Amino acid sequence: MSTRRYRVSHRTTYSYDEDVTDSLGIAYLVPRELPWQRVVSRELTVAPSPLDQSEDVDYYGNTATYFQVTEPHQVLDILAVSEVEAGAPQHSDAALAVPWEQARPAHRPDVADAWRAHDFALASSLADQTPEAHAYAAESLRPGRPVGDAVVEVMHRIHDDFAYDKTATTVTTTVDDIFDKRAGVCQDFAHLTLACLRSHGLAVRYVSGYLATTPPPGKERIVGADATHAWAAVWIPGDGWLTVDPTNDQLVNDRYVTVAWGRDYADVPPVKGVIFTEAKTSTLRVEVDVAPL
């Protein structure tokens, strides 16, 4: 398998107008080890220095970094730097040709990991299986159609039917909101893919990570101008997960760095936590850079 190597830098900075006396957080910023991805090195630092910082592996196999900062502060800085070799996931033509009805984990007790995949066929808070989502996917999930063809067509349609608009949605946007506005960002398009396909019994993961971008011809890379990205992965019996990116209308390839996956964004936000403060206002700044090596 051919791979590409990247240096990923992700800095999150919170600023407050009064001291924060206690900050407890969880970060999902460490890339995963996968058959098509190798983590060469990684480091996560928090400033001010935490009283406690540790790592654990959550239910879905993601690395979660826990930290607590008790030194009074008005700025909290979290920096994750990783070096990663990424390739493209591989799938057999025979597995992708299975009728989509036979790719539902509830109908495949003969497949060893079907029980684990079933969790991703259930509704979640940000990927509700609405009647509109079910009807939208039904246009592509015709009886007996190969699962690979059907999933890719849903990806194409979402890309064509919904506009990319950073101002249209927020991190709490629902599936109904996305259909209403016919617009959103990568997180919304991933949630929409989940809702549509799960409503027919398919198992679909929400995946967070990064996409290496290239500048326009003749332009230099702007360091720190990249962003986090989100896509979806559909369970293929006996053949892993087919990863699709409806935002860019393509299968995931060696330009993608996978960090974490869950039922939806709420499971794996880059950083979440609780603070103790009397501050009235705060600001958040995020800088991401995915540099090819």
What pTM, to 2 d.p., does this model score?
A: 0.94
Mean pLDDT of 180-189: 94
pLDDT attached to residue 226: 80
Select the more confidently predicted residue: 49 or 224: 49
Select the more confidently predicted residue: 173 or 137: 137
Look at residue 222 and tell me whether its pLDDT is greater than 60.
no
Q: How far apart are CA 246 and CA 186, in angstroms?
A: 8
pLDDT attached to residue 215: 67
CATH topology (fold) of 93-266: C8orf32 fold (3.10.620)
pLDDT attached to residue 220: 62
pLDDT attached to residue 219: 66
Mean pLDDT of 87-112: 96
Mean pLDDT of 73-81: 98
Q: How far apart are CA 101 and CA 93, in angstroms?
A: 17
For residue 269, whether the previous peptide bond is cis, meaning omega lies within 30 degrees of 0, is no
pLDDT attached to residue 225: 57
pLDDT attached to residue 250: 95
Place 223 in a pLDDT band, splitting at 50, 70 and 90: low
The whole-chain average pLDDT of the chain stands at: 94
Place 168 in a pLDDT band, splitting at 50, 70 and 90: confident
Q: Please state the domain extents for the chain.
A: 4-86+269-292, 93-266
Q: Confirm or reject CATH 2.60.40.2250 for domain 4-86+269-292, answering yes or no.
A: yes
Place 172 in a pLDDT band, splitting at 50, 70 and 90: confident
Mean pLDDT of 277-287: 95
Place 148 in a pLDDT band, splitting at 50, 70 and 90: very high
4-86+269-292 and 93-266, same CATH topology: no
Tell me the three-class secondary structure of 122-157, residue by residue.
Answer: CCECCECCCHHHHHHHHCCCCCCCEHHHHHHHHHHH
